[in-house]
Chain A
Amino acid sequence: MKKKLTIQQRLILPIILLGIVALISNALSVIGINNVNFNAAEIVDNDMVGLEILQNIRHTTTNIHKMALSHIVATDYNTMIAVVEQIKEEEVTLETYLEEYENYVTEDEEAIYAQLLEDYDSFKHALVYLVCASADSKTQDAYAYANGDVADFGSAMAGDIDELYGAVRARTASTANIKLLIV
C-alpha cells in the first residue's frame, strides 16, 4: 500500500532537489573558476613570460647587430674597443635569455629552439669576423659580413623567434579555449 506524502513533504521535495542542483552547480562553478584561475596562471606564468623572453631575445639580437654596425663606422680605436666590449656583454645577456627560454620549450617546439641556437651560434661567429675586419680597417669586408652572414643569420634568428612566438600564441589560445569550453 502506497504511503501518501504529506503536503509539507510534497513542498519540501522540490526545494531539496533544487538545493542539490544548486549545490552541484556551485561546486562545478568553483571547480570551473579554479580551472580558469589555474589556466590564467599558467598563461601568465609560462606563456606570457616565455613570450617576454622571446621579445628580449629579438631585441638583444637587433641591438648586437646595430652595435656591430657602429663598430664599422667608429672612427677611432677607443670607440671600437668600447663597442666590442658592449657586444660581448650583450652576447652574455642574450645567452642568458636563450638558456632561460629553454624552460618554456615544449616537445613540439624543441626543433625550432634548436634551430634558434644554431642560428645564434652562426650569427656570433659571423660577428667575430665582422669586428675583426672592422678593427683591421678592412671596412669593405666588414660591410660584406654585416650585409651577408650577420644579416642572414640575424634574419634566420628573427624567423625562428617568430615561429616560436606563433607556437606559444597558438598554444595559449588553444589552452584558453579548451578550459572555457569546460567551464
Chain B
Amino acid sequence: MRKRIWGLLYGILCAAAFTGCSVTEETKLENEELQPVELVVWGAEEDEELMNQIIQSFQIHYQGQADFQISFEVQGESQCKDALIGGLEDGADVFTFADDQLNTLAAAGALTPIENADEIRNRNLSSTVEAALVNDQLYAYPLTADNGYFLYYNKQYITEEQAKTLDGILEAAAANGKLFTMDWTSAWYVYSFFGNTGLQVGLNDDGITNYCTWNQKDGDIRGVDVAQAMLRIAEQPGFASYTDEEFLNGVKNGTVIAGVSGVWNSVAIKEAWGANVGAVKLPTYTCDGRQVQMASFSGCKLIGVNAYSKYPEWASRLAEWITNEENQQLRFEMRGQGPSNIAVANSAEVSQSPAIVALLEQSEFSQLQRVGGKFWDPVSKFAGNMAAGNPSGQSLQAQLDEMAEGVSAR
C-alpha cells in the first residue's frame, strides 16, 4: 500500500515536471520567433554581383537575429540623390552615392548623423571622412576614395608618348579607324577642360549657389579659347562623345581604343584589353595654341542610410557591413575600387593597381567636387552643343555667358 502511494506521488511529480518543460519550450519558441526585416539596397549596376555577395555574408553573420529579406536594386550613384528625393519615403534603406550629394541629402532630411561616428572616422582615410561630414557631424559611411577619372588607353594602338597629349591620342585613333571617347553630356567630365585654365567655378559660402567665370573675356585663357578648343576636338574623326556605358561597349567591341573613365570600369577594361591596358593621368589638350593639362573632379563614394527606413538599426548595421575592412578588400578584388578603409588602402595590392596609380597621378590636377545643383545642366547643354559642332551657330561667347549665368543662378 505504502509503495503504491509513493508510486502515485512520483507519477504526479513526473507529470508536473514534464508539463513544466512543455510550457517552457513553447514560451521559448514564441520568444525565438524572428522579426521580419525588409531592406532595399541601391547601388551601381556593375556592383550588383559584389553587393549580392556582401548582402549574403551579412545575412549569414546575423543569422538567427531577424528574418531578413534584403534586395539589391540598380541605381546609379550619380543619380542617387535625384531618385531618392523624388520619393524619399519609398526609396532604398541603404544607398550608394557620390559625396557631392551629401549636403542636399542632409538638408532634405534624408540622412541623419551617424551614432558611432568616432569608430567610423578612425578606420577611414581623413579625406573620405571629410567628404562625409556636414557641420563636423558624420552623415554617411565612407566607401571608396576613388571617385575621379583618368585616361584608359589601349597600348596596342597608342604609344605612351601619344597618350600624353589629346592630339596624339586623336591622331592614333583616326589612323586606326578607332575612337577616343569622353562623355560631354556630363558636366562632371567637361570640368576637365576648364579646371586648369585659371577660369573658376565653385561653391559659394552658402553651400548652395555657385560662382562661375568660365565666360571670362580676358585673362591668360579666355572662356572662348576653351570653347574653340572643344569644337576643334569634336571635329576630329577619332573623337566621339560617349556616355560611360557606350564607352565600355566600345571597349568591348573594339571600336574604342582610349577614353576618360574611372576605376569602376577597370576590371571590365582589363578583361577586354588584357595586357594592353594603359591607365595614366589625363592628357594635355591644345588651347589657344598651348598645351593645357586636363583637370578632373575628385571625390569619393559614400553609403547612406535613409532616415525614413522602417528598420533604421538594421539599415545602419548593413551600411557598416558594406563599408567594413573585409568588404572593402572584396570590393577592391572584385571591382578594383579604391578603398576608403585605411588598412585596405595601405595594402601593397592596392598601391600597385594601375587604375589607382593613375588616379593618384591625376590627383595633382584634380579638385574636390564641390559645386551646387545648378552647375550640371547649363554645362551639359553647352558641352552638348560643342560636341555636336555648334549646330545653332550661336556665338560661343553668348553660349558661355548663358552657361555661366545658369551655373551661378540663385
Contact = CB atoms under 8 A, between A and B. Distances in A.
Given A84-B107, A132-B110, A135-B107, A77 B206 contact: yes
B206 A135 contact: no
Taking chain B's interface residues, is the majority helix, strand, or loop, or is none over half, making it mixed? helix
B25 interface: no
Contacts, number: 61
A9 interface: no
B109 A76 contact: no
Contacts of B205: 76
A84 B208 contact: no
A88 interface: yes
A131 B85 CA distance: 9
Nearest to A85: B109
Contacts of A131: 107-109
A125 B81 CA distance: 18
B329 to A, nearest CB: 34
Interface in B135-173: 135
Interface residues of B, number: 24
Chain A interface extent, by class: 20 to 34
B106 interface: yes
A131 B104 CA distance: 10
A177 interface: no
Contacts of B134: 77, 81
B89 A125 contact: yes
Interface in B85-100: 85-86, 88-89
A80 B102 CA distance: 13
Contacts of A77: 103-104, 106-107, 134, 206-208
Interface in B288-336: 308
Given A133-B85, A135-B107, A136-B82, 8 more contacts: A77-B103, A77-B207, A78-B135, A87-B109, A128-B88, A131-B109, A135-B108, A137-B372
